């Protein structure tokens, strides 16, 4: 374990149907880098993942969205899976939660279908992002530039396409957080 992210608190906004690897692998990488992670969800107690073509494991919810204060977190992770972000983008509280990070210019990392929350929150206008190919048109229609790359960083937003990109995604997210840590520490 390294401690280059020691003291940082990362919110992981998720619902039932998150792509299991896209939540668990970044969570593990962030914790190994010294950050604390908190699963924030509209659901109480636990949420269930999606693993390839079937339901996956259940994980505990640390903070119910209605009780979560975005000021308590230094950065935000938006895992993918089709079900998870599609459910979240229909919930005004979830959209407001993401918008807070945007307004405060805090780092946001989104993978696969996770950028749907960036579209819904108005974050992609004028930004270059990547995602699962099926939401390319949504990103373009929201004013973003979509590219087919393993990982893309545009300002405080890191995006990636799919589970195969997780090693590069995790590395770039941790690097961005480490670069910004002094500025983030207790804004």
The pair of structure tokens assigned to 37 is 């992670």
Q: Is residue 3 part of a domain?
A: no
Q: Work out the number of other CB atoms within 10 angstroms of the CB of residue 168.
A: 14
The pair of structure tokens assigned to 157 is 């937003």
| CATH number of domain containing 94 | 3.40.50.880
Name the catalytic one among 23, 39, 94, 112: 112
Q: What is the pLDDT of residue 88?
A: 98
- Counted residue by residue, the chain has a size of 187
Q: Is residue 123 part of a domain?
A: yes
The pair of structure tokens assigned to 91 is 């919930």
Q: Is residue 94 part of a domain?
A: yes
Q: Work out the number of other CB atoms within 10 angstroms of the CB of residue 63.
A: 17
Q: Is residue 4 part of a domain?
A: no
- Whether 100 sits among the annotated catalytic residues: the reply is no
pTM: 0.95
Q: Is residue 141 part of a domain?
A: yes
* Confidence tier at 117 by pLDDT (50, 70, 90): very high
The pair of structure tokens assigned to 138 is 């949504």
- Whether 113 sits among the annotated catalytic residues: the reply is yes
Q: What is the mean pLDDT of residues 70-90?
A: 97
What are the Cα distances from residue 183, in Å, to 62, 104, 178? 26, 12, 10
Q: What percent of the chain has pLDDT over 90?
A: 91
* Confidence tier at 183 by pLDDT (50, 70, 90): low
Q: What is the pLDDT of residue 184?
A: 55
Q: Is residue 129 part of a domain?
A: yes
Side-chain-side CA neighbours of 60 within 13 Å: the count stands at: 4
Identify the domain containing residue 35 by its residue range.
Answer: 9-184
The pair of structure tokens assigned to 174 is 């941790």
* Confidence tier at 43 by pLDDT (50, 70, 90): very high
Name the catalytic one among 113, 127, 161, 172: 113
Count of domains forming the chain: 1
Q: What is the tens place of the pLDDT at every residue in 85-109?
A: 999 999 999 999 999 999 999 999 9
């Amino acid at each position: 374990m390294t401690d280059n992210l020691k003291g940082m608190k990362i919110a992981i906004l998720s619902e039932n149907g998150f792509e299991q690897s896209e939540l668990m692998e970044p969570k593990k990488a962030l914790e190994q880098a010294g950050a604390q992670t908190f699963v924030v969800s509209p659901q109480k107690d636990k949420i269930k993942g999606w693993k390839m073509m079937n339901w996956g494991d259940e994980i505990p919810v640390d903070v119910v969205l209605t009780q979560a204060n975005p000021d308590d977190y230094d950065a935000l992770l938006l895992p993918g899976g089709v079900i998870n972000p599609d459910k979240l983008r229909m919930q005004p509280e979830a959209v407001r939660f993401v918008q807070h990070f945007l307004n405060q210019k805090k780092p946001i990392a989104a993978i696969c279908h996770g950028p749907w929350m960036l579209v819904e929150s108005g974050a992609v206008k004028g930004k270059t992002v990547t995602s699962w190919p099926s939401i390319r048109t949504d990103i373009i229609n929201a004013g973003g530039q979509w590219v087919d790359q393993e990982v893309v960083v545009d300002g405080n937003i890191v995006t990636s396409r799919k589970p195969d990109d997780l090693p590069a995604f995790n590395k770039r997210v941790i690097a961005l957080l480490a670069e910004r840590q002094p500025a983030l520490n207790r804004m």
